Structure 1
């Protein structure tokens, strides 16, 4: 393959055969975080005068992208905290608790699938199948059981570390925490406490007791998946890797019944 060679007229102008290119190394101050080592691309012309015009425009755009990347990296690094205050941890815990109860309330407002005595769906199956009332309670109890197991032992796995970063990024919190921060174990423990507190509230709701969802000054990200398939997968994984057979027998809830079309 023909190599690129620099040509006169502009410091970023290069040529491969008859075709002209823009070529520039990424600035030293952002090279460690930039996704490529240099900005090299065809100007799609063989005409020198046109290439000189296009390379000037390309250089402005490349510099703009570099400046934007530099700005974002600077903001990210400036917002990374080495530690969290007790108030920040309490805020994060409260937001997580609110979101758990808010999600539970949304599920109840959406309605549950009803099954007859033979385990068949009563009525038309929704396009997006909803859980049964019993399944909803079982998922909450399962998650609480495994969370209680970890909380009692002061354990923190990859799930909780990722969850902590996700919640810190929610609207109204907007914090970034260093991976090596000594606050991480305390933050994870606070989130586990929120799950246990929420499970008690959800258990009461399952019995028809009124448990209001706390008001929040700003809602957490609606895209945050919590009591969803992600949690079911986590429970299954922890059952395989973290619990003894006896503990599983003692604590595992009954498996959710499958929805079967009539």
Structure 2
């Protein structure tokens, strides 16, 4: 009988039991993935296992790619196109969330109370948006959207793009609240389909990138002290490049290197 490492039997029902790779356990927050194959028949379970195993393997690879992107040095700024995409993603998310709530019948909550609360919240958001204010909540929302699947951008805390990004989040919420009002009045407004996101990918960081990042993070003091440290670092880098020749991108280095 063939052995399938990811096939497990529990209470007469077959399950997929996939150990999460060690390098992904922290980011995924688990050490194993269990999924019922919904059958007590081994032959059918093996057929379903092949399908589910492929899906789980794709999840692992996707998470590994996401972790690799987030581990790169943070971006110093976002392009206008990237900011627009983030706003569009957030807008679609808000309306999708609203649609799910309506499908559940507002989970027993009072419709009029919810509409009144939405009206008050929209008024506050518009007031802050008009005055160029940034609330801690909206700042947190912007940071969270950057971490979502498909977006996965790491923006430097010092970036000048934060105000524009947060305003895009405000704009998305204001537009979403407007749609919610239309839905509350009985108008049919479709939830946008998921946006196909083509974010600019980071180039692989080089030794030069590491040097610049180190200077930003570590070199401080008076102008004279900063210049002295930078000159020493430049001399060290020159020696390293002379010794190694063509230096590969940092992610391409191996233990043997």
TM-score (norm 2): 0.48
Structure with the higher helix share, 1 or 2: 2
Q: Which has the larger radius of gyration?
A: 1
TM-score by length of 1: 0.47
